[in-house]
Chains A and B, each alone.
Chain A
Amino acid sequence: MSKKQFEFILSDEISYAYKGDMKKTTLLVLKSPASEQGFSARRLQQFIMRAFKENQAAQKIENTQSQQSAQEVSDQEIPGEILLGLLFMSDNIKIEDVEKEFKSLMTSGCCFLGGETPLTSEKYDKISIEDTTKLMGEYLANFLLLSLLSPKRTS
């Protein structure tokens, strides 16, 4: 069974308002996208598939992963860095489009500051570029790639 959420630790603290007070945290709680975030999630999945199609080596990884059952696919086996590398190296995918969709996804109720308040566009902009890059790799690998690679149900 695929996981529903995971935690990500930022390298720098970020401040946020919560119930009338200001708090600081390095903790982000990421939740799997719901239908509400379907447009951005599917666009990102489309980018991933295009990148896979372009890259033969990645195709091999996809094939290997596809043969495993959903239970066998663990978090550690999903290569976030490799996935990002493929997206960055792709000739046909504009990385700014990927970033735009990812930001839209993160600020639509999938990411929670300190696990308690939704990440907003304004707060996303305060996160360092290193952290957003790592976050993108982790999120794409953990949720979007995983759902693409899960074995299809047979009736």
Chain B
Amino acid sequence: MSLLSISTPTVLINNISYGIVPNSFSFTEGFGEQTVRAQSAGGGSVAQVYSDNAEMKYSTVKFSMFNINLDIERIRGWKANRNENVIEVIDSNSNFARTFKAAALTGDYEVQLSADGVIDLEWKSAPAQ
């Protein structure tokens, strides 16, 4: 089996695929943060205490799009949808797929109106599935 890195995924937002700036897609799985602390058990012995921080159990999805007029309007629509967006990222060559439900564009994204302008989007969503 050949090993391939994934660099050109298909990105679907609300059932429609969109072109993105190459190599701009990244995400977190949304496992949150876990900590391990040592508890004294007496007599010099210790036991490990594992904690799961639920505050961080969300995914972050980041990618950039070019400043195409149609996309600027679409992005505005996604922002207006609040957290009623779904992002699917698929790589059919490697059977890779993740779905991010309840995705919201949290930041006030910047639209660059220039020849080499891109729009950086940062989403927060339910943990990846």
In the complex, A30 Cα to B44 Cα: how many Å?
73
A20 touches B15 (CB 8 A): no
Residue of B nearest to A21 (CB): B101
- Complex Cα spacing A120 to B12, Å: 11
Instruction: Chain B residues near A96: list those with CB within 8 A.
Output: none
* Chain B 96-119: CB-based contact to A (< 8 A → 1; otherwise 0): 000101110000000000000000
> How many residues on the A side are at the interface (Cβ–Cβ under 8 A)?
13
How many residues of chain B have a CB within 8 Å of chain A?
Answer: 16
Cβ contact within 8 Å between B86 and A122:
no
**CB–CB B86/A17 < 8 A:** yes
The answer to whether A122 touches B85, judged by C-beta atoms less than 8 angstroms apart, is no
A22 to chain B, nearest CB (A): 6
Q: With the chains together, A122 CA to B16 CA distance in Å?
A: 6
Across the two chains, which residue of chain A brings its CB closest to B83?
A20
Most buried by A among B15, B83, B85, B101: B15
- A: residues with CB less than 8 A from B are 16-22, 113, 117, 120-123
